[in-house]
A and B are shown apart, each in its own frame.
Chain A
Amino acid sequence: MSDHKSHVEEYGDDLATLDEARSATISRERLGDVKDFWPGFTASMGEKRSTNDVRIGARLARQWALGAAGLLVVIGVSVLVPKLFRHGGPPAPPEKAAVNFRIDSVKIDEEPAQALIFQTQDQGSTFVWVEKQL
């Protein structure tokens, strides 16, 4: 606080006063009625209880997400590979450069992370967004 006081002495008029800061920020009174978070909380707890273990629930969700991503890759590969290795018949038309990838698990700082896959409408680009679980 002493540092802050010395700043105040140094900068004087260039600093907003306490009253100015109070009116610029949102006080509890200005918020009016605040939502009751209890129903949402109990609903979340109920969902978690149904799986008996929060971590198991989160792990299952991740496994489902990764499984779905893996399935997409498998389907993509199963369509692509026969085309590439087809013997006989007319030569296959030149394919666009294809990049195959596979996600087994995603971690950030040794913690399981969430992977989201986006594809542009022309299917020319695929983005894999990985973020920490909250």
Chain B
Amino acid sequence: MANVLPPDTIRCDACPVLCYIKRGHAGACERYANIDNQLVRVDPHVLLDRAKFQGAPLVPFLEREHEWDGQLLKGRETFVTAIGAGTTYPDYKPAPFIVSSEVAGVDMVTVVTEGIFSYCGVKLKIDTDRHLGPERNLVRAQGEPVGHVTTAEYGSQMLSIGGVHHLTGGTKSEGRVTCETLLDLCNGKEVALTIDEGASITVAANQPPIVNGQREERMRVGCGSAAIGMFAKQWFGKVDEVVVVDDHITGVLSEHQAGKMLGVRETGIAIQGRRSTPGRYFQVAQPGTGWGGTNINDPLSILKPFKEKFAWPHLRLLMVSTTGDHYAYYELDESLRPIEEDLPPALRESVARIRENCEPALTTVLFMAGAGGSLRAGVTENPVKLTNSVKNSLTRVTCGGAPAYIWPGGGITFMVDVARMPENAFGYVPTPALVAPIEFTLKKSDYATLGGHMDYIRSLEEVMREKDRQRQLTSLPDNPWPLPSPNERRTK
């Protein structure tokens, strides 16, 4: 087929049928449609079922535990999510679903729409000490720049992916790949990324990151100095000196406050790098993917010769990384040179304890977007009132039923953990932009006050009758129920 499409026709690439879809029509699946020459997912519409009884079992099937057979529970509450609700872009019309329901005698309204966000991106928090790449360097997918390294925060490397400059500010291919990367990340799929002058990583929401082909198991227990503080007591008496190797702050037991408190004797150890405060050293090596996020594989390389004045033969030295993944045990010989020995059983326990105290390393994907623009017109005739209502906590914002954090300041800029949203909650349009569900829940009376589309309110029962377009899911147990609880109402 020719690449030239007839006017008002788009080609859907959601499945291998590759339908040509005319404006105003749906493809063969009736799930993707051409709305104003945008490919929009229109089906199915996801409803969340609330298990009223705490701890109600989910029945896993085919390893997909979000799905549930619906049979075990009675007396459920239902929340209509925006997933599959469609959109009224460019938003001069009321949102596709404005649903009323009653919560503890109060009429509530949930305005449900799928927003098209070209001002959007994800923040990746990758739990690893390994150096992924220099700050500000480009992160690439399929060779295209899709984001950059921002910083590191307490045992995690932070990347920014997407954003309007990659989605629409670069080449067509950059925009397309960025959109695809964001969509995959948001829908929980695995994505391969490379960082200029840095590592190759494979990440997926709520999964351990894979750095240069190696799966990260644990997040550091703390920085090297923190580790000394946490475990000093357990080492005391079993070893004369401990060095916790860390690219950020390497800790040294005998010099550290915690060691001093216990009366650990001075050992004459001398460490490379820059001393910050006693027992805390910066820049003992270069960043890398070796011990504790440094580039070293031989821990002795960060040591200078022991000071003869303080050190003694048979001095016992433990060197360990911040995750306990790397460790080595030495004793000084007669000329005060460290000789590697087997780790004594008494210390084995403390190394295991470090590992035990490390939380599992994960990648978290936070979707971030601004709903401050025209999307609000689908909710109310007076858009700024919606913004104010959200700021005043009268209107609750959820994404596919998951709680959203609203940034202070102007607009409705929100962040949501995609792992708390139902599977495949995101879609895209070839603009390129992401389609994300967003729901605004507020009191019906408040909705009238802010100029809501009152004529378009439909009852929950009415919406639920359209069963063939719906998918019912159980809400995730960790999420607060999107509608306010009766107790919460009384306090307002």
A-B interaction: no
Measured CB to CB, the residues of B under 8 A from A are none
